[in-house]
Every structure is written in structure tokens, then in C-alpha cells.
Amino acid sequence: MNLELETASHPENLKRVAIDPVSRVEGHGKVTLLLDENNRVHQVRLHIVEFRGFEKFIQGRPFWEVPVMVQRLCGICPVSHHIAASKAMDMIVGAVKLTKTAEMNRRLMHYGQILQSHALHFFHLCSPDLLFGFDSDVARRNIVGVAQAYPDIARKGVLLRKYGQEIIRMTAGKKVHGTGSIPGGVNKSLSADERKSLLQEIYQMVSWCIEAVDIVKRLFEQNAQFYSQFGRFDSRSLSMVRADGAMDLYHGGLRARDTLGEKIFDHFDYRHYWEVISEDVKSWSYMKFPFLQSLGPEAGWYRVGPLSRVTNCDFIPTPLADRERREFLAFDDGRASGATLGYHWARMIEMLHAAETIKDLLHEDDIEGGELMAEGGERAGRGVGVIEAPRGTLIHHYRVNEDDLVIRANLIVSTTHNNQAMNEAIRQVALQYLDGNEITEGLLNHIEVAIRAFDPCLSCATHALGQMPLEVVVQDFAGNPVSIASRSPEGVFSSR
Amino acid sequence: MTETFRLDGTDVPFEAGETILQAALKAGRFIPHLCHHPEFRPHGSCKLCTVKVDGRQAASCTRLATSGMKVESETEELNAERLALTQMLFVEGNHFCPSCEKSGDCQLQATAYHLGMTNAHYDHFFPNRPLDASHPDFLLDFNRCILCSLCVRASRDIDNKNVFGLAGRGMASHLIVNSKSGKLVDTDFSVSDKAAHVCPVGVILRKRQGFFIPIGSRTFDKKTIKEYVDTRLGEED
Ligand code: SF4
Ligand code: FES
């Protein structure tokens, strides 16, 4: 635990390093390090400028518009917001239970989203670091480099993503800004032709997902110590699970575990999430810090996302992914399942689960059904929708007035849930690798690797080749720059 | 013997009292337009239908056809002006197509596609126009009003209710609801009104319909604006 690195005791004698990656997706992030003259690390902070203007923006809009409008929140997983908002609006219109066909099509859309987002996250954004090494030649450390050195891996990554995007196009109407999920149901179901074309390729996708899990597994096997220890920290975890304890990324109750794996709460009805989750504010960050209420802001932070989900559930309800889950948990006496880089392994297990789930859904005849809308029930003034988005638990919460307009909105996105956890991870990395060393591009990249394990949006989401422009300013205690190191979007590192 | 005028080099027949636009549309010749509707008296406000009559600009929806007149419509110059007018309509209001429920059913959007519009070109005004959600069945989103006055004409001339009106002049002109409170709920507006179904953009909206029609099945997913206008005329006959 590195809370002592959150705030240095004598900052006046230290110099400041700021890593300032700019991302257009979810605001932008910046890492600041305070170093002394011997480059020893005294303070590490990840600042994320979260874009909360959105909650204002939807105030006064009609509720049925929101599921489409919120997709602008994220360039990587707009569908997650689309579905979370739809679930909240299901409550508003009193649609207690969706039709079979509607739920299946929403699930198909969601698991298609998981597939495409996980493929993007792993193959495009993270595999260059993992395959070439964190401080390997920066000119090659991108997806083009991967395509040259490992053409087969790169090709499968691209095709997996494409398949997921096809599912989104078919269920939502468009790859981005679709409209498929609406309050109370869906506006279309899969057609026979669409189903047939997806079925033709799904077995191939499942087998490529198995290969993807193997890639991460081999990396861990080859370098177990490094992979388990990199940026490692103990944390509580939060995710949704199905009533029987199974992994369910679309619907369920909230489960939190402490650092020893004991349950803090289980099957908690997310419609009252504020009874178990609060948000703390810190003076140095614009982004809030959520915490588990029973433990308080200091000890109650947690992590969400693939690692939490795979370790939190009792089992994965598809056989191939569950076998991988068990292997993951057993690996190296359980060391991988608490590792920051374990996120990648867990992510690929989930991608396999998504492919298997898609396969199962495609075999259900109801996916083509004609009953799209649930019977409207009693109108409610409050709607909460929660899903497990690719990067973690996503909460949408709205108040709607009698005239059908949104009067209040609160969104807690995965990045916010993971705020403290990402801070912990980079503090560990700073201590492990930067402490006492001259800053180099490769060392800076270690910090990014840790952030990227959680979240691609922060670091390089909109930089298609996996590069983000970075500037590191080493300042003296008075704030004067001592040296500046920077990396251009093309990956050229310079220091002066 | 029917009389004719020349439109872009070919003869178009017309009957006495018909406007250029009416005659052209009847002959299957498309001239872009937004405030014209076959069932209502012309208003002549959007100017999209502007053509050149014997070398001088005129709104084809208001100008009566006369024998032998020479009308130009499909010229680069006129289409460039139509495009600019359309872009101005976009920036004057708040038109966010990706999250608008009228997307795919909107005549402004379809016209923009027809004219090859790829961006708004001008600076957005971002006007602040609050919604009127007071009515139990209908929502008014004034953000998208292009002041075509079709709802005004429909309510006044067909529904005999006078629910809507245009107030103010020039840049300040805006759509109002004719009730004491200014709210739709305090009028006798109803679902069966012609005015409830005539808005070419996304202002007068049936509540809780939203995105009920999937992408691919909306009006302009299946038809161009020209084809839409043709079928609309067909329904009249
Ligand atoms: S509300 Fe619609 S029909 Fe009425 S003036 Fe505005 S754009 Fe025209
Ligand atoms: S259609 Fe003629 S001016 Fe609008």
C-alpha cells in the first residue's frame, strides 16, 4: 500500500515530473511525480480531468433520447452507455421484465461490444508492450510493429474486433451511434440472414479467443515473477454477479470482496447502489474517488474490470472460459490473479466468454423473435441501470419528471471506479522501476503500461497506433523546469 | 392545348394558377424545398426552392408559372446557394443528428444529403431554446425549428385551431404556442390534428416514440427526398 506516496511530507525540497498524455476521449490524464535530487520518488499522482459536463447536458432532455445521446461519452465503448442508459429507462417506463427476444438482442449487442473492445484493448493498444517489452524500441512498439513481427496475431486481433463491430451494427443499426436498445426493449431483432452470417464465423472466433488467452498465459509462464509483481497492489474488488454467483456482464447484483477475498456484500440490488458506494473528492484531482461506504474513503477504494470480475464470480457460465478462469486462479499459487498485468489475462478470458456467449445466443431461436417491447408498467421517477462494461462496472442513474424530462443524472464510469486503484498501480511502478533512476522513455512507458492495463481511454484511445504524446517536466521545488522530456505522437523521444 | 414553360431546357406543362414548383413536382422534376407542402398555401420563407426565371431569382413555390418562361434550377450556382442556406439552417438551431429521434425521417437532413452537405461550414449559434414538455402526448423541441410555418398553416387552415404562431422578426423570429401560459398543454392540440404530423424536422414529436423505428426502416433510409416528395404527391391524387 502506498498511500504515503499520495502526498509527500516535504514537497518544498522536491522537483516535479509531469507526464501529460492528452486523450480526447474521456477528458485527459496527467501523471505527476515529485522527485528529489537523487531521483527518488516522493509523490505520485494520476490526475484525470473527467468530463462531467455531460450530466448537465442531458438535463432537460426527454428520457427516451438519453440512451442514444450518451453514446457520445466514449469513443471505445459507446454501446456500454447505450445499454446502461436503456436499463435505467426500462425502470422509468416500468418495464420490469423485458421480452426474451429483447433481452437476448441486448445481450448479443453487449457481448459483441465486449468482444470488440477487449480485442482493441489487447491487440492494438497493449500487445506491443507485452510482445516487444516495455522499454523496447519505441519506433516498433505499436500495432504496425506487431503486424510486421507477428502478422498472424495482428490479423486475428483485427478480425475479432471486426466481428464484434458487425454484431453491433446488426443489433444497434450502426457501428457507432446505433439506436437498437430503447426504453422497454429493442427496436429490432436479429434477422435470419444476419444470424446465419454470424453463425458461420463464430466457431472461428471462439478458437481465436482461445489462442489469445494462450498468448497472455505464455507471457506469464515465461516471466512469472515480473508479470506477477509489476505494479502489484492489494485491493478490494467490485463487480456484478448473477443470482447463482456466475459471471454476468449484462445484469446481476453487486458483489464486493476485501483484499483477502472475503465478501463485503453480495447480490446487492444496484437500484440502491448509493447505499454501498460513495464518492470522495480530493483537492488535487477533478475526478472523484468512489469507495465502499462500510469501509470509508481511506480503506474503501476498490478495483473494477476484468480482473475483478474473473476473480469475483463463483464461476463463468461457459465451459471454455471457466476452464481458463480456474487455470488463471491456480497459476503460480494464485499470484497472477492479483497482478496488475493479470488484467490482460482476465480480459482475454472474458473475451473468450463473450465469444462463447455469442455462440450460445445465436443458437437460440428467440433471438429472431418478433416480441420486441415489454408491456409498459407503472411509471417511475428514478431509473438506475448498471452493466459490466468492458473496463468495469458502469452506473447510470437518472431522475425523470412527470413531463418526461431528465432532471438529474449521475454517471459513475469504470475509469472513476478505478481512480484510486490506478493511482496505486503507478505508485508501485514508480517505486519499482523509476525510483533513483534517470527518466527515460522506456521508464515512462512502464507507467503507461500500468494505466493501460486498466484503461486504454486514458492513455491512447484516440491514437490509433498506440502512441500518446507525452511530456515530462522535471521541476525544482519553486516550479522551474529543470529538464523536459517529451515524446511526440510519432513516438520520438527527446530530452533537453 | 396545355401551356408549358422551360425548366432547365425541357418543357414542363402547367395549368393556370399553378406555381413553378407545383408544376415541376407534378412533372416529376425535383426542386429542393422545405416550407412548401402540397396541401397548404405557399409561405415562401425558406428560399430553398429559389430558381432563376428569365435570369432573375424567384421562389418557385410562390411564382406562378407562365407560358414560355425560361426557368433554371439545377445549376451549380443555385445549388451552391441552396447548400449555404441549408448550412445556415443547421447552425441557427441545435441540430445534433446522431442523437435526434427524427434522424432518418427529417426533411432538413435528407435535403442536406441531397445537396451534398458534409459539414456545417458556419459557426454554430448554439441558441438556448428550452423544450415544452407540458403536453402529455407531445413534446416541442424548439431547438430544431426552421420556421417553415407548416404547423402554423396546418393548425389554422385545416385544424381550425390556431395552436401555433410565428412571432418576432428577423433573427428574433421564433415559434410560439398560442395559449395564455404559452404552453402546449393549455391548448386544444391533439394527436389527430394535421399540425401534429406536418413538421419536416424534429420539433413536434409524439412523446415516448423516440427511436422506435430501427435504422434501415426509416423514411430516408429507403427513399431519397425526391422519391419521398414524389410519393407524397401520389398520395394526394
Ligand atoms: S415547428 Fe416544425 S412545422 Fe412548425 S415552424 Fe418549426 S419547423 Fe416548421
Ligand atoms: S419552399 Fe419555397 S421558399 Fe420554402
DSSP output for A160-195: HHHHHHHHHHHHHSSSSS---EETTEES----HHHH
Interface confidence (ipTM) of the complex: 0.90
Q: How far apart are CA A460 and CA A99, in angstroms?
A: 39
Ligand 1 pocket check for B145: Cβ under 6 Å: yes
More confident residue, B159 or A31: B159
Q: How far apart are CA B212 and CA A369, in angstroms?
A: 16
Q: Output the residue whose Cα is nearest ligand 1's atom 6.
A: B145
pLDDT for residue A468: 46
User: What φ, ψ does residue B53 adopt, rounded to 5°?
Assistant: -105, 115
pLDDT for residue A80: 93
A405 Cα to chain B: minimum distance (Å): 7
B132 Cα to chain A: minimum distance (Å): 9
pLDDT for residue A39: 78
Does B179 score more than 60 pLDDT? yes
3-state secondary structure of A44: strand
* Interface contact flag, A68 B139, Cβ < 8 Å: no
Does B136 score more than 60 pLDDT? yes
**Is A428:A2 a contact under the CB 8 Å cutoff?**
yes
3-state secondary structure of B118: coil
Pick from A338-352, A354-368, A478-492: least confident: A478-492
Q: How far apart are CA B161 and CA B153, in angstroms?
A: 10
pLDDT for residue A144: 81
From the number of C-beta atoms within 10 Å of its C-beta (0-12, 13-18, 19+), residue A370 rates as: exposed
Count Cβ atoms below 10 Å from residue B136 Cβ, excluding itself.
Answer: 11
B166 Cα to chain A: minimum distance (Å): 24
Contacts of residue A380, defined as CB under 8 A and 6 or more positions apart, other chains included, come to A91, A92, A94, A400
Ligand 2 pocket check for B47: Cβ under 6 Å: yes
State pTM to two decimals.
0.90
Task: Indicate the top mutation candidate among B37, B100, B199 to test ligand 1's pocket, ranked by most ligand atoms within 8 A of CB.
Answer: B199
Chain segment A217-250, per-residue pLDDT in tens? 999 999 999 999 999 999 999 999 999 999 999 9
pLDDT for residue A465: 32
Amino acid identity, position B127? P
pLDDT for residue A289: 85
- B49-81 in b/e burial notation, b at 16+ Cβ within 10 A? bbbbbeeeebbbbbbebeeebebbbeeeebeee
* Neighboring chain B residues of A64 at a CB cutoff of 8 Å: 101, 208-211
Name the helix (H) or strand (E) containing A49.
strand A41-49
* Averaged pLDDT for residues A88-116: 97
Output DSSP code: residue A375.
P
A142 alpha carbon to ligand 1 midpoint, in Å?
51
Ligand 2 pocket check for B45: Cβ under 6 Å: yes
User: What φ, ψ does residue A463 adopt, rounded to 5°?
Assistant: -100, 95
* Averaged pLDDT for residues A279-300: 84
Mean pLDDT of chain B: 94
Would you list the domain boundaries of chain A? 11-51+421-495, 56-417
Q: How far apart are CA B200 and CA A322, in angstroms?
A: 53
Q: How far apart are CA B146 and CA B45, in angstroms?
A: 10
CATH 1.10.645.10 holds for A56-417 = yes
Amino acid identity, position A6? E
Does A17 score more than 70 pLDDT? no
- Confidence tier at B12 by pLDDT (50, 70, 90): very high
3-state secondary structure of A67: helix
Beta strands at A302-303 and A263-268: parallel, antiparallel or unpaired: unpaired
Inform me whether the C-beta atom of residue B133 falls under 8 Å from chain A C-beta atoms: yes
Inform me whether the C-beta atom of residue A20 falls under 8 Å from chain B C-beta atoms: no
CATH 3.30.365.10 holds for B99-223 = no
3-state secondary structure of A35: strand
- DSSP lists the bridge partners of residue A327 as none
- DSSP lists the bridge partners of residue B28 as none
Does A109 score more than 60 pLDDT? yes
More confident residue, A442 or A204: A204
Q: Output the residue whose Cα is nearest ligand 1's atom 2.
A: B199
Amino acid identity, position A272? H
Q: How far is CA A246 from CA A44, A162, A307, A439, in A?
A: 37, 28, 15, 44
The residue among A42, A54, A52 whose CA lies nearest residue A13 is A42
Q: How far apart are CA B195 and CA B215, in angstroms?
A: 26
Does A474 score more than 90 pLDDT? no
Q: How far apart are CA B9 and CA A304, in angstroms?
A: 69
* Interface contact flag, B207 A179, Cβ < 8 Å: no
Chain segment A295-322, per-residue pLDDT in tens? 999 899 999 999 999 999 999 999 999 9
Name the residue among B99, B141, B212 with its Cβ closest to that of A182.
B212
Inform me whether the C-beta atom of residue A403 falls under 8 Å from chain B C-beta atoms: yes
* Averaged pLDDT for residues A325-353: 96
Contacts of residue A470, defined as CB under 8 A and 6 or more positions apart, other chains included, come to A19, A20, A21, A444, A448, A486, A487
Does B33 score more than 90 pLDDT? yes
Q: How far apart are CA A42 and CA A103, in angstroms?
A: 50
Contacts of residue A137, defined as CB under 8 A and 6 or more positions apart, other chains included, come to none
The ligand that comes nearest to the alpha carbon of residue B164 is 1
* Interface contact flag, A403 B211, Cβ < 8 Å: no
Rg (CA), chain B: 18
Q: How far apart are CA A430 and CA A349, in angstroms?
A: 29
Amino acid identity, position A128? P
Ligand 2 pocket check for B36: Cβ under 6 Å: yes
Count Cβ atoms below 10 Å from residue B126 Cβ, excluding itself.
Answer: 10
pLDDT for residue A26: 37
The residue among A492, A476, A474, A493 whose CA lies nearest residue A484 is A474
The ligand that comes nearest to the alpha carbon of residue B129 is 1
Name the helix (H) or strand (E) containing B52.
strand B50-53
The sheet carrying B56-59 orders its strands as B10-14, B3-7, B70-72, B50-53, B56-59
* Interface contact flag, A179 B208, Cβ < 8 Å: no
- The residue of chain B nearest to residue A406, with distances taken between CA atoms, is B133
Mean pLDDT of chain A: 86
* Averaged pLDDT for residues B93-121: 93
From the number of C-beta atoms within 10 Å of its C-beta (0-12, 13-18, 19+), residue B104 rates as: buried
**Is B15:B2 a contact under the CB 8 Å cutoff?**
yes
pLDDT for residue A461: 32
The residue among A18, A134, A28 whose CA lies nearest residue A445 is A134
User: What φ, ψ does residue A448 adopt, rounded to 5°?
Assistant: -65, -40
Contacts of residue B16, defined as CB under 8 A and 6 or more positions apart, other chains included, come to B3
- DSSP lists the bridge partners of residue A62 as A405
Chain segment A52-100, per-residue pLDDT in tens? 567 778 899 999 999 999 887 776 778 999 999 999 999 999 998 999 9
Amino acid identity, position B106? C
Residue with cell 415516448: B208
Q: How far apart are CA A142 and CA A144, in angstroms?
A: 5
Contacts of residue A442, defined as CB under 8 A and 6 or more positions apart, other chains included, come to A134, A135, A136, A138
The fold of B3-74 is Ubiquitin-like (UB roll) (3.10.20)
Instruction: Name the range with the highest mean pLDDT among A205-214, A281-290, B93-102.
Output: A205-214
Residue with cell 514508480: A430
The residue among A324, A306, A364, A348 whose CA lies nearest residue A107 is A364
* Chain B interface, best mutation among A61, A63, A181, A403, by max B CB count within 10 A: A403
Q: How far is CA A10 from CA A34, A469, A472, in A?
A: 10, 30, 21
Classify the phi-psi angles of A147: left when phi > 0, otherwise alpha if psi is within -120 to 50, otherwise beta. alpha
Would you list the domain boundaries of chain B? 3-74, 99-223
